């Protein structure tokens, strides 16, 4: 007799992590619907979330630890053997070369962050501080700018889309990629309201651009020229908010001088945007009562990416579109997802460490250099750099060179196939999970969720993996030492707090291992198997201390709860709510308290970027002649997602990850719709099925991310599905400050395939999708 039950959890397809309910039938996820009780998403669901069962249940799941043999093949081993051998090799590596010889790559996949605190704690206890992850492949230029503007790299802007009358979208497609709560609902409301407007800057006529009142189809790679021309136009009109600038900013005079030198007409030509459209854009900005700016990877992984982020922030600040209802804000944190590390360097590559992170672009160099402090071991958690980092061939070479490479993942990824050990993790729906991407203002939310289906036999959740390893490494005290703390937690929270503080005072060396201590002691007292959320206790205490009134508003508490108990009340609200809980509610005027500068003002002048702006040359905006097409590598579409979705059957559309090409360009190539075409860059060559699409400009191409994965056929052979786009990308084609790759601007050429190669591609596609 089958059993059925609806259980609350969250979507893991993008960082919004909408609340969902899943129908569990006999231990498997069968259906998905929006969770109306979720205070953030309120029942919202996009088309992709319904395909979550394809993530949770598929043929490529790992069910035993694997060890690579000398012949390159893998053999299954038991957990005790895996833990003992890995601990021994880690300890030997640290003893020979120090903890700085090891790095973490990843530390939590999309919506999969419960294990992050544990792997960070383990590696830090070994002396490692080096971290590569997806954030440093996408966002560190923005973090660097924020550090200068707001006084800390952990200051991060949010958008009050729900209340704006002008939404300005730059290099983003929220209809498909979301990026803010209930994105499609919000876009539809703007479209239907004649008093609200939408401007989109994007080379492609995206689904969002189709809805826009003004679409500025900028030349690929020329965003800085267009943004600079818009800012200079506003300055020429004196259409800046002088009162706001005088009250809340410093450095406007230097910014004004730099913007005044911009030759608007020449920069408009470089951007391939008529002056009349720039003037119309300025008209709409001036007419708006409340503008909010939404940006994404289109400019954060585009040419001049760090400068783009600066110009975006100047657009916000010069128009006074900050700190008011319907504008941009800063948001609170329960626990910052990244750090604040100004003026730090990674010695082996002389690379700036931004927000505590290293750019994946320099990962191969960090391994392959002859510097004495080069990386010799890498721990890879819920990440797949062999597919996601720039310059696949160099990444693979670096991975093969390592003395020790360990991968923790749910499936046999392309990176896992190059590791020495592969440890099978339970999936995001088989264990306690939460997300740290909480970027809302004025009310911010947090969602702890227990597992909804039993863990696959042979797998372990990451907190348990790292706890076992830390014990094997001799880092953690024994159960007999921790037993009094565990007993105190079962008695009461005040008793535990007193016992924990006393323990830490007596054992200061245990401080870096706080996540493990809390998991092993406070964890067993938490409801519904949410022990992995125990490290959030310290984060809740800190949050309540930073912003007590905002926490009281979120929890709807008065003075009946004293400040000393507020952090515990916040922690209890988080771990006890199955649909998520509000953690802070700020007043709009309180945004200034979130700024890190002592004067609580925005410091507009960043000399390095103003000098960069002055050096921009409109003559370099076009593509090189030998590679005449500009490829946007990693486009988001209706049926692609992140690398955790490996089963090709999940896609209802675009099964091969088509290369989008303008029909005129296709005609000039002599190709037909659906034909296989070779795409070649300076870094490599791939083959993709082409699709005529006039949403892209002539000379512009687009390939999706989330493809290029090998997957087992029914007879066990592994076949690769779709384009492996980072074979084409070049790690040297990157931002000079943050090292973020210019994935949205890859120069390529196209060639028709010989008949035999095209036939082989067609047969491969048929087999993978049959």
pLDDT digit string, tens, across residues 97-123: 999 999 999 987 766 789 999 999 999
Regarding predicted confidence, which is higher, 287 or 623? 287
Residue 504: the pLDDT is: 93
Flag whether pLDDT at 624 surpasses 80: no
pTM beyond 0.85, yes or no = yes
Mean pLDDT of 574-580: 96
d(CA 34, CA 9): 10
Residue 713: the pLDDT is: 87
Residue 339 to residues 129, 168, 325, 594: CA-CA distances in angstroms? 12, 28, 28, 15
* Fold (topology level) of 66-137+339-440+458-473: Rossmann fold (3.40.50)
pLDDT band at 623 (very low <50, low <70, confident <90, very high): low
- Can you name the residues that pair with 408 across neighbouring β-strands? 381, 423
Quote the longest CA-to-CA distance of the chain.
Answer: 78
**What architecture (CATH level 2) is domain 141-333+602-613?**
3-Layer(aba) Sandwich (3.40)
Flag whether pLDDT at 308 surpasses 60: yes
pLDDT band at 3 (very low <50, low <70, confident <90, very high): confident
Closest CA to 613 of 316, 283, 320, 312: 312
Residue 364 to residues 161, 208, 571: CA-CA distances in angstroms? 40, 37, 41
Residue 428: the pLDDT is: 92
- Which of 46-60, 103-117, 393-407 is predicted most confidently? 393-407
Flag whether pLDDT at 437 surpasses 90: no
d(CA 633, CA 686): 12
Residue 670: the pLDDT is: 95
* Fold (topology level) of 4-56: N-terminal domain of TfIIb (2.20.25)
d(CA 360, CA 370): 18
Residue 712: the pLDDT is: 92
Mean pLDDT of 509-518: 93
Of the listed ranges 107-121, 364-378, 526-540, 659-673, the one predicted with least confidence: 107-121
Percent helix, strand, coil in the chain, to 5, is 40, 20, 40
| Phi and psi at residue 169, to the nearest 5° | -105, 125
Residue 527: the pLDDT is: 96
Mean pLDDT of 486-508: 95
Of the listed ranges 14-18, 141-145, 239-243, 720-724, the one predicted with least confidence: 14-18
* pLDDT 10s digits, 660-709: 999 999 999 999 999 999 999 999 999 999 999 999 999 999 999 999 99
- Owner of token pair 């030759």: 263
Mean pLDDT of 345-359: 96
Strand order in the sheet with 377-381: 74-76, 66-68, 421-424, 404-409, 377-381, 102-106, 130-132
d(CA 227, CA 609): 14
- Owner of token pair 């007292």: 525
Q: Which two structure tokens, joined as six digits, stand for 480?
A: 């007999």
Residue 163: partners with Cβ closer than 8 Å, 6 or more residues away? 290, 325, 326
Q: Judging by DSSP bridges, how do beta strands 344-346 and 351-353 pair with one another?
A: antiparallel
pLDDT band at 2 (very low <50, low <70, confident <90, very high): low
Q: Which two structure tokens, joined as six digits, stand for 324?
A: 């008011």
* pLDDT 10s digits, 290-299: 999 999 999 9
CA 531 to chain centre: 25
Angle among Cα 106, 110, 115 to the nearest 5 degrees reads 55
pLDDT band at 744 (very low <50, low <70, confident <90, very high): very high
Residue 770: the pLDDT is: 81
Residue 111: the pLDDT is: 66
Contact between 568 and 525 (Cβ < 8 Å): no
pLDDT > 70 in the chain, percent: 99
Residue 764: partners with Cβ closer than 8 Å, 6 or more residues away? 719, 720
Domain regions of the chain by residue span: 4-56, 66-137+339-440+458-473, 141-333+602-613, 476-585, 623-769
Mean pLDDT of 737-744: 96
Flag whether pLDDT at 1 surpasses 60: no
Flag whether pLDDT at 500 surpasses 70: yes
Q: Which two structure tokens, joined as six digits, stand for 451?
A: 């597992």
- Owner of token pair 């200051």: 155
Closest CA to 50 of 673, 645, 562: 645
* CATH number, span 623-769: 2.40.40.20
Count how many Cα atoms sit within 13 Å of the Cα of residue 509 in the half-sphere of its side chain: 6
Residue 110: the pLDDT is: 67
Does residue 442 have a cis bond before it (omega within 30 degrees)? yes
d(CA 690, CA 466): 45
What mean pLDDT is reported for the chain? 95
């Amino acid at each position: 007799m089958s059993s059925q039950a609806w259980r609350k959890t969250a979507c893991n397809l993008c960082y919004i992590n909408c609340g969902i309910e899943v129908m569990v039938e006999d231990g498997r996820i069968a259906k998905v619907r929006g969770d109306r009780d979720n205070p953030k998403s309120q029942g919202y669901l996009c088309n992709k979330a319904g395909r979550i069962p394809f993530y949770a249940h598929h043929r490529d799941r790992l069910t035993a630890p694997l060890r690579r043999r000398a012949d390159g093949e893998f053999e299954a081993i038991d957990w005790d053997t895996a833990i003992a051998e890995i601990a021994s090799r880690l300890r030997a590596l640290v003893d020979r070369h120090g903890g700085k010889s090891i790095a973490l790559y990843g530390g939590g996949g999309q919506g999969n962050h419960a294990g992050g605190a544990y792997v960070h704690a383990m590696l830090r206890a070994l002396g490692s501080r080096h971290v590569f992850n997806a954030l440093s492949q996408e966002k560190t230029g923005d973090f660097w700018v924020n550090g200068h503007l707001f006084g800390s790299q952990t200051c991060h802007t949010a958008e009050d889309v729900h209340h704006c009358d002008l939404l300005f979208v730059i290099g983003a497609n929220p209809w498909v990629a979301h990026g803010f709560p209930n994105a499609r609902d919000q876009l539809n409301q703007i479209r239907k309201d004649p008093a609200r407007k939408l401007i989109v800057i994007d080379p492609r006529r995206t689904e969002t651009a189709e809805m826009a009142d003004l679409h500025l189809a900028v030349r690929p790679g020329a965003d800085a020229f267009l943004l600079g021309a818009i800012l200079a136009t506003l300055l020429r009109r004196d259409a800046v908010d002088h009162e706001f600038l005088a009250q809340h900013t410093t450095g406007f005079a230097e910014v004004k001088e730099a913007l005044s030198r911009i030759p608007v007409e020449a920069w408009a030509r470089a951007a391939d945007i008529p002056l009349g459209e720039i003037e119309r854009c300025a008209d709409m900005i001036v007419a708006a009562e409340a503008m909010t700016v939404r940006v994404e990877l289109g400019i954060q992984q585009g040419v001049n990416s760090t400068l783009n982020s600066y110009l975006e922030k100047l657009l916000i600040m010069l128009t006074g579109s900050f700190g008011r209802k319907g504008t941009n804000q800063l948001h609170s944190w329960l626990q910052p997802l990244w750090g604040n590390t100004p003026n730090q360097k990674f010695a082996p590559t002389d690379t700036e460490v931004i927000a505590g992170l290293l750019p994946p672009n320099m990962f191969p160099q960090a391994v392959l250099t002859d510097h004495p402090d080069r990386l010799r071991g890498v721990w890879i958690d819920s990440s797949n750099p062999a597919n996601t980092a720039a310059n696949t061939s160099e990444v693979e070479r670096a991975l093969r060179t390592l003395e020790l490479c360990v991968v923790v993942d749910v499936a046999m990824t392309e990176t896992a196939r190059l590791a020495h050990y592969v440890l099978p993790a339970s999936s995001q729906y088989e264990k306690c999970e939460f997300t740290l991407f909480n970027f809302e203002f004025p009310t911010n939310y947090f969602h702890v969720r227990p597992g909804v289906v039993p863990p696959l036999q042979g797998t372990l959740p990451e907190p348990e993996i790292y706890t076992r390893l830390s014990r094997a490494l001799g880092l953690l005290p024994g159960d007999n030492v921790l037993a009094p703390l565990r007993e105190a937690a079962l008695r009461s929270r005040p008793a535990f707090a007193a016992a924990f503080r006393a323990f830490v005072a007596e054992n200061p060396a245990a401080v870096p291992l706080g996540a493990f201590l809390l998991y092993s002691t406070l964890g067993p007292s938490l409801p519904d198997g949410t022990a992995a959320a125990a490290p959030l206790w310290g984060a809740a205490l800190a949050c309540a201390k930073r912003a007590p009134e905002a926490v009281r508003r979120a929890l709807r508490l008065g003075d009946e709860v004293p400040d000393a108990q507020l952090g515990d009340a916040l922690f209890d609200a988080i771990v006890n709510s199955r649909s998520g809980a509000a953690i802070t509610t700020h007043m709009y005027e309180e945004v200034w308290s979130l700024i890190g500068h002592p004067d609580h003002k925005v410091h507009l002048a960043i000399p390095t970027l103003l000098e960069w702006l002055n050096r921009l040359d409109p003559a370099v905006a076009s593509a090189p002649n030998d590679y005449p097409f500009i490829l946007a590598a990693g486009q988001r579409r209706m049926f692609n997602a992140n690398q955790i979705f490996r089963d090709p059957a999940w896609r209802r559309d675009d099964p091969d990850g088509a290369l989008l090409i303008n029909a005129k360009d296709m005609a000039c190539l002599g190709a037909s719709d659906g034909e296989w075409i070779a795409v070649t860059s300076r870094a490599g060559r791939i083959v993709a099925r082409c699709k005529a699409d006039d949403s892209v400009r002539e000379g512009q191409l687009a390939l999706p991310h989330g493809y290029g994965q090998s997957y087992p056929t029914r007879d066990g052979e592994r076949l690769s599905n779709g384009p492996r786009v980072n074979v084409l990308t070049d790690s040297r084609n990157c931002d000079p400050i943050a090292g973020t790759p210019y994935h949205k601007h890859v120069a390529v050429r196209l060639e028709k395939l010989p008949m035999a190669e095209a036939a082989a591609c067609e047969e491969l596609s048929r087999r993978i999708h049959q």
